[in-house]
Amino acid sequence: MTKKYFNPYTDFGFKKLFGEEGSKDLLMDFLNQLLPDYHQIAELTFKNTEVLSDTKRERKAIFDIYCESKKGEKFIVEMQKAKMELFKDRALFYSMFPIREQAQKGEWDFELLPVYFIAILDFEYDEKQKLRKFMRDVYLKDQDGEIFYEKLHFKFLQMPLFNKKEHELENRFEKWVYFLKNLESFEHIPAILNEPIFQKGFEIAELSHLSATQYEQYQKSLIQYWDVKNVTDTAFKNGIEKGEKIGIEKGELAKAVKIAKNLLAMGLEIKAIATATGLNESDIENL
């Protein structure tokens, strides 16, 4: 059956919904459901999603969406399509860029503005945990569980763990999650989402509203999404069964390089290939 709305897990769909000036109000509304009262957003500015390091030899960061509030809070919003073994390490690494860029020349008292790393995950990263949580809201805490530093926030949404039905939704945040998880499968706007902000989201996501060029871009993005999901799901299943990490254990490097070359030939982005194979982005660039 032909889909009416695009898949928001694709690069095209995610950035069309949340990463353009015309849909900025959707991003602000979504973020405000996640943020505490004292960090509610009234205005957002998109920043360059490619953040360079201080030297050419250091890694750079390429964010899905990077924005800043009027008060100066920084927000990294990522849509992660496939399982990454060290995703929490990557999240911490990426969060360092908006922290470092706040450094001021000359006299400076080291005061920092808050940084939020928000990840929408199309997989479970803590599936081995006894208590699996749909959302993990992470702060820096001390040995007694008291917050030590509240200006660095990590919010991980493990979408496969959200299974509420329409009649079970309790608040606006759950409506957003329900919207994102089920958007591609909707044939019409559900009654519970029939309000202005979601109506706009449905209008943006309707495939018939895309131009011919946009539709072609979406199709390429959708193929990339399927390829990355298929490759990583298969590789992780085989690797986990053998107790190996994808692409970096003995005997697997050559296989990972071969997969990377094939994905490059198909036109996938380097970031997506790195996720799929476990190789460094710099190594893939050298291929």
Are residues 177 and 183 in contact, defined by beta-carbon separation less than 8 angstroms? no
Does residue 282 lie in a domain region? yes
The rounded mean pLDDT for the chain is 84
Does residue 112 lie in a domain region? no
Give the per-residue pLDDT at 283.
Answer: 75
Residues in the chain: 287
Binned at pLDDT 50, 70 and 90, residue 53 comes out as low
The residues facing 75 across adjacent strands are 67, 116
Whether residue 57 has pLDDT greater than 50: no
The residue that leads in pLDDT, 203 or 81, is 203
Does residue 236 lie in a domain region? yes
Does residue 234 lie in a domain region? yes
Reduce the DSSP state of residue 139 to 3 states and report it: strand
**How many angstroms separate the CA atoms of 167 and 276, rounded?**
36
Give the per-residue pLDDT at 265.
Answer: 64
**How many angstroms separate the CA atoms of 64 and 14, rounded?**
8
Does residue 273 lie in a domain region? yes
Whether residue 260 has pLDDT greater than 90: no
52-65 average pLDDT score: 61
Does residue 248 lie in a domain region? yes
Does residue 181 lie in a domain region? no
Give the per-residue pLDDT at 60.
Answer: 55
Reported as a single tens digit per residue, the pLDDT across 158-201 is: 999 999 999 999 999 999 999 999 999 999 999 999 999 999 99
Binned at pLDDT 50, 70 and 90, residue 157 comes out as very high
Reduce the DSSP state of residue 15 to 3 states and report it: helix
Give the per-residue pLDDT at 63.
Answer: 83
- Phi-psi category of residue 88: left, alpha or beta, with phi > 0 → left and psi -120 to 50 → alpha: alpha
Does residue 225 lie in a domain region? yes
Are residues 131 and 147 in contact, defined by beta-carbon separation less than 8 angstroms? no
**How many angstroms separate the CA atoms of 201 and 119, rounded?**
19
Domain enclosing residue 282, as ranges: 211-287
226-238 average pLDDT score: 63
Measured torsion, CA atoms of residues 250, 255, 256, 261, in degrees rounded to the nearest 10: 150
DSSP string of 112-138? Answer: ---EEEEEEESS-S-TTSSS--SEEEE
Alpha-carbon 66 to chain mean position:
11
Reported as a single tens digit per residue, the pLDDT across 104-128 is: 888 889 999 999 999 999 888 876 6
Give the per-residue pLDDT at 200.
Answer: 97
Binned at pLDDT 50, 70 and 90, residue 26 comes out as very high
Strands 65-69 and 115-121: unpaired
**Helix 24-34 / helix 172-182 crossing angle, nearest 10 deg:** 120
The residue that leads in pLDDT, 219 or 48, is 219
Give the per-residue pLDDT at 51.
Answer: 63
Say which range, 213-222, 230-239, 241-250, has the weakest mean pLDDT: 241-250
Ranges 28-32, 42-46, 132-136, most confident: 28-32
Reported as a single tens digit per residue, the pLDDT across 124-147 is: 887 666 678 899 999 899 999 998
Residue type for 35, please? L
Count of the separate structural domains present in the chain = 1
The residue that leads in pLDDT, 265 or 47, is 47
